[in-house]
Amino acid sequence: MKITDIRLDRMRLPLDPPFYAAWDPVPRGHFDATLVTIETDEGVVGYGSGDTMDGFEGHEHLFVGRDPLAIVNHVKTLETINFHAGRYWPVEAALWDVIGKVSGLPVAGLFGGATDRLPAYASFGELRPPAERAEAALAAKEAGFRAMKIRVARERLAEGIAAVRATREALGPEIALMVDLNQSWRMSGDIAPALDLASVRRVAAELAELDVQWLEEPLPQYDIEGVRTVRAQTGIRVAGGEMVRTMRELLHLLETDALDVYQPDVVLSVGMLRARTLAELAFARHRWFTPHTWSNGLGVLANLHVVAGVGGGPFVEFPYDPPGWTPERRDFFLTRPVGVDGDGCMRVPDAPGLGAEIDHDAVRRLARG
């Protein structure tokens, strides 16, 4: 079997109303996605998506004509390209989709098949006043979620902590809550200073009193000693690693015992194969593996297959913040949006590969020039 073509379809979905994410100071009136399609000479087609894939054109020849099942070599090739250019891991996801279809198995089965169902946590994206955030959390609980994550902006700390407190009071103790400070990476143009260690320590202490399961990205990625200090002095778990670019950097975090929860997004960080290796090493240290999933439905599925394959958790991230951010908006080029069941769990599709069906009419209709 040989790869005969790699095609990129870029799409844009207008958003009305715009979605304002806590980590992005510019309200977005649209959502962009790129679909990667890999075709083979035996008629097997694989799909992947995640990052924008900007700048990938010109690298197709490194894959076309080669065996799609030789995944280790393809991963090594992507690592060499990523050194010079962007995050092109959706190519690997599309290759795994091909491999699953050839084998007749869901990709999670190829990654170990530890489980076919995982509890999801509702990952809220917007900054909302305390009462409004608590109301949205109650609606998420009604939708089946038993865990939720709230983002707190460094420039609006008091409001953010108040939102967590109001949510805890509204939900009671049985719902797991997590908090994300988003201090490890920045959107383009954001040069404002990060919160310092003393400020983060105070935040962490307050959140620990509210029984927050983990504090995500409390400090810049390089401040390993500071992150360890926060954990040691407050007892709160720390999470991170979602956008780390290389396996070597993730291994350094693991070797220095920087984190309790490892979150590399398989379509934005180091890919599926490397993330699986990281997960096994994290488990050996009695740490959690529960990847970031903020891209689109195909990206969510790629992460779900890896975390379910290795038996990670205790939750899988599910981007969710109606009305601005819904499965239907996020997964606009799929025939069916990726969702959760009535118990707030995500199920691994039982179809071979990643289990996604593409709405090709939507791909054509929303094509971005």
pLDDT of residue 369: 64
Mean pLDDT score of the chain:
96
273 and 183 in a common domain: yes
**In this predicted structure, what is the pLDDT of residue 104?**
98
Q: Is residue 368 part of a domain?
A: no
Under the banding of pLDDT at 50, 70 and 90, the label for residue 366 is very high
Question: End-to-end alpha-carbon separation of the chain, Å?
Answer: 33
**What's the domain count of the chain?**
2
In a domain, 150, yes or no: yes
pLDDT at 133: 98
Q: Which domain holds residue 45?
A: 3-104
Tell me the per-residue pLDDT of 325-362, one tens digit each, with 9 for 90 and over: 999 999 999 999 999 999 999 999 999 999 999 999 99
Same domain, 222 and 77: no
Residues 72 and 212 in one domain: no
pLDDT tens by residue, 3-56: 999 999 999 999 988 888 888 877 788 999 999 999 999 999 999 999 889 999
Q: Where are the alpha helices (DSSP H) in 111-223?
A: 130-142, 157-171, 197-209
Shared domain check, 159 and 69: no
Residue 255 and residue 317 in one domain:
yes
Residues 155, 8 within the same domain:
no
188-216: per-residue pLDDT in tens? Answer: 888 889 999 999 999 999 999 999 999 99
> What gap in Å lies between CA 245 and CA 253, rounded to an integer?
12
Same-domain pairing of 225 and 307 = yes
Residue 119, in any domain of the structure = yes
- 182 in the same domain as 100: no
- High-pLDDT (> 90) share of the chain, %: 91
119 and 96: one domain? no
Nearest CA to 145 out of 347, 340, 349, 348 is that of 340
Cβ neighbors of 330 (< 8 A, separation 6 or more) are: 31, 296, 297, 300, 319, 337, 338
Spell out where the chain has E strands.
3-19, 28-40, 45-49, 117-123, 147-151, 176-180, 212-216, 237-240, 261-262, 288-289, 316-319, 345-347
- Shared domain for 86 and 64, answered yes or no, is yes
Segment 110-128 mean pLDDT: 97
Q: Which of 56, 75, 104 is the last residue of a domain?
A: 104
Which residues, 6 or more positions from 106, have their beta carbon under 8 angstroms from its beta carbon?
Answer: 100, 116, 305, 348, 349, 350, 351, 352, 353, 354, 355
Q: In this predicted model, what pLDDT tens digit does every residue of 154-189 receive, in sequence order?
A: 999 999 999 999 999 999 999 999 999 999 988 888
Last residue within a domain, chosen from 74, 104, 134:
104
Residues 75 and 122 occupy one common structural domain:
no
Residue 41 lies in a domain: yes
Q: Residues 239-257: what's their mean pLDDT?
A: 96
Compute the distance between CA of residue 259 and CA of residue 35 in angstroms, rounded to an integer. 32
Quick one: 162 and 82 in the same domain?
no
pLDDT digits (tens, 9 = 90+) for 70-108: 999 999 999 999 988 889 999 999 999 999 999 999 999
Residue ranges of alpha helices (H) inside 49-186 are 71-84, 90-103, 107-110, 130-142, 157-171
